[in-house]
Structure 1
Amino acid sequence: MDTDPLIGSIARATEPIRERLHEYRRKIDAENPSGDTQVAADDWADGLFYEEFVDAGFVGEYASEERSDVVDVGDGYGLTIDPLDGSSNLLSNSVTGAAIGVYDAPLPARGRDLVAGAIVLFGSYTTVTVATDDGVTRHVVSDGRVVDRDPVAMPDRGDIYGYASTRAETSDDLQAVLDEVGRTRKVRYSGAMVADAAQLLTHGGVLVYPARSSAPEGDLRLQYESNPVAYIVERAGGASSDGTGSILDVEPTNLHQRTPTVLGSPELVDRVAEAIPAEQ
């Protein structure tokens, strides 16, 4: 796939988001189709991305975490988006971003049908990390355009560790492995998965979003988050797992399904995945 239209659409959408995100930081009395409490920024950002992608000419289906159903917008790829990952961080002015998947198949689709994945990070500056089968590149975006870019290759072994759960919700075997892995690594868990993934791609390590008693199917949505980020991580030399195999092999059953997700350096992903209970 030619990623220039994808990156251009993302760059143009991120300019007003970066400038005006503070105006939409408060919660509203609503839930999205996945059951999460929305902030005003969720719908607003979704609308900005939708307008850009509809006009881009390569999108045939548009599916957002903030919308119940797929929107048919013409001929082209199926595009999924979490338009504001980490929106609960807005009141504390912590990091946020977006996750995007481009599928060459009707939605919902398997991760093996991805032709591109992207994560946007609103950090000290804005970056768009894009993966295709040819590799991964991080683009620095300013004023609606790309001003710099670098290739991305994740280290084989790394020092980042992130874990989205509590001890009370984790099996003894899994907790023992997590304690061992985390003992010699820096903890990185921001509440925005794309921010933790950006750390992972830079420094290597492992991120764990397991099934747990309060979220038996895991926290991350397969179409909008797990698939695109697993695709990026694997193309950068890392690995992914739902506890049984690559995230990219998970069969989709509905548009908003969730899945346990482990991402990172291959050796660490294997160690964690082996300790995940088979009955999850």
Structure 2
Amino acid sequence: MKVVAVVSGKGGVGKSALACSMAGIIARDGKKCLLFDANIGLPNCDLYCGVEPGCTLGHIVRDNRDLRDAVVPLASGAHLISGGSGWNELAELGPKEIEGLAVAALELGKEYDHIILDCGPGFGSRVAPFLSIADAVLVVTSADPASLTDAYAMLKFVWGHNPNANSGFAVNFAPTAAQGRSAADQFKMVVGQFLSREAELWGVIRTDPHVARARAERKPYAEAFPLAPASQDTIDVANWVMGIKAVDEPETSMLERLKSAFGKKQESQEAA
């Protein structure tokens, strides 16, 4: 099992659309893939995938149901768990409850080859638990300087919570492949200079009108238009993700890592 968290420093960079298409590509490659919408209470994956789940994380939390009840099969062969929209129960979740959902996702994920966690934009207590269980973290940005600045802050946050995860970034909405790589090179230079670590580029996804058309059709763009430039670029990102080696640790280690992360946070709060 390989757990991949897809994150962004801000909204509007195409993170969820990328995660949905990537999950479909992985499933069509013959892998068992679970797409977990971890943008709890503000999900997008059900819309991008054109499904209306009868059970979401809202039902799971309110009715204390098994997480498996929320699994929805997608046309690509991937499975989806929707984050649940408009639930007061989800809006009021605290860190411990978020941690519980992350643990449940990890347990259910044992039935899959890959878990794609589509996390909410930005960072904080609603994102940290999912970073802590990830083997790999993909930071999605655009070539816009403000977006790259947010991606820098996000990458710093990622490394602070899970320094052992394979971490990389993808430049979305690039006007051209060359411009995307140029922005990526500048980003890598800044990260190396100030964070003293190498930021790996996992892919450049070109701006493509097919993405908006697929969204209007409520389909992942890689499924609706598999030969479109953005779809081909996303295949490269998915191939990179599939090639990442899962953390080779005992079965309980991820759960212990999650508990450790929250334990440190609690100690910090008590010290304050």
TM-score, reference length from structure 2: 0.27
Higher share in helix? 2
Higher share in strand? 1
TM-score, reference length from structure 1: 0.26
